[in-house]
Amino acid sequence: MALNPKRRVDVLGVHVSTLDLPTAVDEIARWVAEGERHYVCVRDAHGVMLAQKDENFRRIQNASGLTTPDGMPMVWCGRWAGEREMSRVYGPDLIHAVSERAAREGWKFFYYGGTEGVADELALEIARRAPGVHNVGTYCPPFRPLSEQERGEVIDQINDSGADVVWVGLSSPKQEYWMDDVRADLDAAALIGIGAAFDMLTGRVRQAPRIIQRSGFEWLFRLLMEPKRLWRRYVLNLPRFAFMIVRRKPTLIEPPA
């Protein structure tokens, strides 16, 4: 069965796109070329569990242009449902792959999120790794809801920059709520929420080695790196996720004809 970016797998009510990294990049490129406007959610088991108690968060993920399988549990769910070619689309890998395409195509990037200075550092890192990428702006939002005036100013800043892709580095579900809120007002083809990748790619958070990422034990590596912040997410949520998945097998959702 060929990969189709519009096909999804229902993982406890969250509809995860059944794709791989090249397919995700091709779909984003199509949006840019054809003038479509969407947002991308990069999804792991933690986000699926958050959606169990937040119907609006679940709606936002299911209404995305893509909801990619960020964690190996999402990939295993897709394969269990019958999508054998599905593979991980990890936030840091996605930004690198899209950057390589952007350098060839001349796309413009805007970076929204992170603590003070992180978005600027990420822009420099991407420019170093993918010469030819056009970085056209950054914005570090305050740790509070934006006022209506601030919201309008940010929208104007991003639209005036001419950005094709907006990288969003907020925590989940904050970044998904922001993308859903501003999607209709922004001209960029793609808003892509990559969360902790802002900190990973600027060296503030250590990434797990590839062998650990592929094993499915990246959660343990991250827990050891940030136990105070992440213990509830992994110690409490992952067993619940596994229990619920056994009771409710993932199923494929075919796109409308």
The pLDDT of residue 172: 87
Residue environment code for 220-242, b if the CB has 16+ CB neighbours within 10 A, otherwise e: ebbbeeeeeebeebbeebbeebe
Q: What is the mean pLDDT of the chain?
A: 89
Kindly state the percentage of the chain with pLDDT values over 90.
69
pLDDT class for 10, splitting at 50, 70, 90?
very high
pLDDT class for 221, splitting at 50, 70, 90?
low
81-97 average pLDDT score: 93
What is the distance, to the nearest Å, from the Cα of residue 247 to the centroid of all Cα atoms in its chain? 27
pLDDT class for 5, splitting at 50, 70, 90?
confident
The pLDDT of residue 232: 66
Q: Is the pLDDT of residue 241 over 90?
A: no
Q: Is the pLDDT of residue 223 over 60?
A: no
Q: Is the pLDDT of residue 77 over 70?
A: yes
pLDDT in tens, 21-69: 999 999 999 999 999 999 999 999 989 999 999 999 999 999 999 999 9
Residues 240, 243, 249, 250: what is their CA dihedral angle, to the nearest 10 degrees? 30
Could you tell me which residue, 255 or 251, shows the higher pLDDT? 251
| pTM of the entire predicted model | 0.91
Query: What residue spans define the domains of the chain?
Result: 8-206
Q: Is the pLDDT of residue 74 over 90?
A: yes
Lowest average pLDDT, out of 15-19, 99-103, 112-116, goes to 112-116
Q: Is the pLDDT of residue 219 over 60?
A: no
Could you tell me which residue, 37 or 242, shows the higher pLDDT? 37
Instruction: Classify residue 128 by burial, with Cβ atoms within 10 Å: 0-12, 13-18, 19+.
Output: exposed
pLDDT class for 12, splitting at 50, 70, 90?
very high
- Residue in 239, 209, 249 with CA at minimum distance from that of residue 45: 239
The pLDDT of residue 200: 80
Q: What is the CATH number that goes with domain 8-206?
A: 3.40.50.2300
Q: Is the pLDDT of residue 215 over 70?
A: no
pLDDT in tens, 177-205: 999 999 999 999 999 999 888 888 786 66
